[in-house]
Amino acid sequence: MTKAQPPANFEAGLGRWLVLALPYAWLVLFFLAPFALILKVSLSEPELSQPPYAPVFDSWDASVIVDKLRSLSLGAYARLIEDALYLRSYLESAAMAGAATFATLLIGYPLALAIARSPARWRLLLLTLAIAPLWTSSLVRVYAWILILKDEGVLNHALIALGLVTEPLHIFATNWAVLIGIVYAYLPFMALPLYAAIENQDRQLAEAAADLGAGAGGIFWRITLPLSLPGVYAGALMVFIPAVGEFVIPDLLGGSDTLMIGTTLWNDFFVNRDWPAAAAAAVALLALLLGPLLFYERMQMQAGANRR
Amino acid sequence: MSSTHDSSAPFVQLEGVTKRHGGVAAVDALSLTLRRGEFFALLGPSGCGKTSLLRLIAGFETPDEGRIFIDGEDVTGTPPHRRPVNMMFQTYALFPHMNVARNIGFGLVQEGIARAEIARRVTEMLRLVQLEGLGERRPDQLSGGQKQRVALARALVKRPKLLLLDEPLAALDRRLREETQFELMHLQERLGATFLVVTHDQREAMVMASRIGVMRAGRIEQIGAPAEIYERPISSYVAQFIGEINLIEGVVKGQSAEGPLAEARSGLLGVSIAAGLIDVACAVAHAPGSRVAIAVRPERIRVAPLDRAQEFPNVLTGEIEESAYLGDMTLYRVRLAGGLVLRAAHQNARPGAHSFESGDRVAASFAPDAGIVLPA
């Protein structure tokens, strides 16, 4: 994955600024502004009113700004630390997302490798099949998993019919169901960057390795895998980051013991109506996710530097 | 060539090897024998199957028919990593995520050799290809010539019995290419390994190889030493592929056992061509009336003023169409009566030697032994 380098003769003119401004305008409008709102709410105190939080920074009158600044509260963040529920939610979300990332990698790598190594005329079809689930609503697909996984569901019927188990397996409404759902839902996001990273490789490198005495295993571990690491990092991020904050899947497939930050947030917003705490949890989540993002950015920079 | 081995013993043997790609035979019932320690060049235009042949020997492809032996062992079904063969790729195929030393050492790590021994042999290879001190560099920090040397060192580090080189110099600029040709020759002599090089560049093949095989459509048309192929091509295809040549079509008039040239052991063939009648030395019997092509190298064609025409045999009169002064030689295109254009190369051995300009009427001539009789 190379970073796009503008050609040397690219004019630093109006056109260039427009091209750059458009995505930035998009980000400011749909990411930065909502984030500022959330940040604002997180610095407030909960109230039993509509909206259910004390107003801060609603007026830009200079004389009252100092007053308003004083009304800012870090109470929500204090509750975040005091209440063990949040810490547990973060840890369990990270563990779940980590397990899901690992599982998608284990399933996605052979899948991507098989597609990349298949005859060229099959590749597009296989790739399309791999991402076809994304064409239907994720909600529908999660409901389908309920039908598959529940005690009297398709899976248990099949297992009992085959005589593999006598009692139905309790998968639905457990963390296993959540893991299966997340792995299923995010597999394409792992497989696609992996496919790109593998397909991009010069096949002659594998031939050169074979020529120098490497068997299939040697070629994989010493050539194919190391060269596909950028795809592994990209895929891991694309699975891990949204999986940490996943709400629908744990809510529908998980049980009472499933604790993920997405469901905790939802409960805070809509059940407890503690918007400041929920907003603070969201801000903290974003801050925590900056870690892996910065790591990825550094890997990219290193790869870029090596290429130069 | 190495004298410690019996240089006539077959080292690599291909027997009736055929490889089809989508119904088309890239290599067509080809048989070839390489001797131990020789520098053999497979020469041919792109698409003639020479790279396919190399890939068959390396083991990247398996033949549809035929067998391949290396050093007496049948390797037809042996995978590439078990063959005593290494290959230098045209694109070099250096591993981009490894530095130069690890690229070169790759084959040794694969053999499970101790780390200290690997380091020693990598250093030795770096010295051999004159890249000392560059072991820590990444491939993308190297120039084209340096990459070529790393690829060569990587292919040689396992001391292969047979080194395959796929267009090894194609990516280098001309000056570097000429230098490297001689380096490859010296390396091959020093190591005593058998080198099989694939190239489309006939000059390169002639400089480096002790024997050349000219390929055409999946088959080998002619095998021989460079001089043999140049001076005695067996077909107009080979004649045209190796160097410049004039092909003159004609009909056999008659053949004499004893020619006017006493030193020519072969008889003379009288051939009628559009521009007149010519005599060509020829040892093979040709029936009168059969069609032949006479091949004459440009440097064997003499261009003289018309008034000296009677001094030479095989005089064909014509008009200079174009002349190009190249310094060491002058190239002429002479249009003969009947429309055929002859290319002639005149060595400018002395300054101010006779030169002609376009439009000049001249006598083009060649000695009977300069003509090669080929099937039309």
Q: Rounded to an integer, what distance in angstroms lies between the CA atom of residue B349 and that of residue B148?
A: 38
Pick among A212, A220, A229 to test the B interface (most B CBs inside 10 A) = A212
Residue closest to B340 by CA, chosen among B356, B353, B321, B324: B321
Chain B residue numbers with beta carbons less than 8 Å from the beta carbon of A304 are: none
Which residues lie across from B243 on neighbouring strands?
Answer: none
Start-to-end C-alpha separation, chain A: 13
Cβ <8 Å between A306 and B140: yes
Spans of chain A, pLDDT less than 70: 1-12, 56-65, 304-308
Decide if B41 contacts B202 (C-beta within 8 A). Answer: no
pTM of the entire predicted model: 0.80
Cβ <8 Å between A214 and B79: no
Quickly list DSSP for B36-101: TT-EEEEE--TTSSHHHHHHHHHTSS--SEEEEEETTEE-TT--GGGSSEEEE-TT----TTS-HH
- pLDDT per position as a tens digit, A73-118: 888 888 888 888 889 999 999 999 999 999 999 999 999 999 999 9
Encoding tokens for residue A183? Answer: 């792995």
| Prediction ipTM score | 0.82
Q: How far is A202 from chain B (nearest CA, A)?
A: 8
**Torsion, Cα of A181, A186, A191, A193 (10° steps):** -170
Chain A residue numbers with beta carbons less than 8 Å from the beta carbon of B93 are: 202, 204-205, 207-208
Cβ <8 Å between B110 and A307: no
Cβ <8 Å between B87 and A208: yes
Chain A residue numbers with beta carbons less than 8 Å from the beta carbon of B59 are: 210-211
Q: Rounded to an integer, what distance in angstroms lies between the CA atom of residue B250 and that of residue B376?
A: 8
Query: CATH second-level architecture of B10-241?
Result: 3-Layer(aba) Sandwich (3.40)
Decide if B79 contacts B234 (C-beta within 8 A). Answer: no
Query: CATH second-level architecture of B246-375?
Result: Beta Barrel (2.40)
Distance of CA B71 to the CA centre of its chain: 24
Tell me what pLDDT residue B170 has: 87
| Position B7 confidence tier, pLDDT thresholds 50, 70, 90 | low
All domains of chain A in start order, with CATH: 83-274+283-307 (1.10.3720.10)
Tell me what pLDDT residue A15 has: 78
Residue closest to B163 by CA, chosen among B229, B208, B215: B208
- pLDDT per position as a tens digit, B196-205: 999 999 999 9
Chain A residue numbers with beta carbons less than 8 Å from the beta carbon of B122 are: none
Q: A225 CB near a chain B CB, below 8 Å? A: no
Element (DSSP H or E) covering residue B236: helix B236-241
Q: Rounded to an integer, what distance in angstroms lies between the CA atom of residue A70 and that of residue A66?
A: 6
Pick among B52, B60, B104, B118 to test the A interface (most A CBs inside 10 A) = B60
Pairs across A and B, CB distance < 8 A: 66
Cβ <8 Å between A306 and B79: no
Number of other residues whose CB lies within 10 A of the CB of residue B43: 28
- Nearest-CB residue to B86 (from A212, A226, A308): A212
Q: Rounded to an integer, what distance in angstroms lies between the CA atom of residue B12 and that of residue B156?
A: 18
Instruction: Locate the domains of chain B by residue range.
Output: 10-241, 246-375
- Angle (CA) A153-A157-A162 rounded to 5° is 155
Q: A107 CB near a chain B CB, below 8 Å? A: no
Tell me what pLDDT residue B284 has: 79
Cβ <8 Å between A212 and B95: no
Q: Is the pLDDT of residue B145 over 80?
A: yes
Cβ <8 Å between B81 and A211: yes
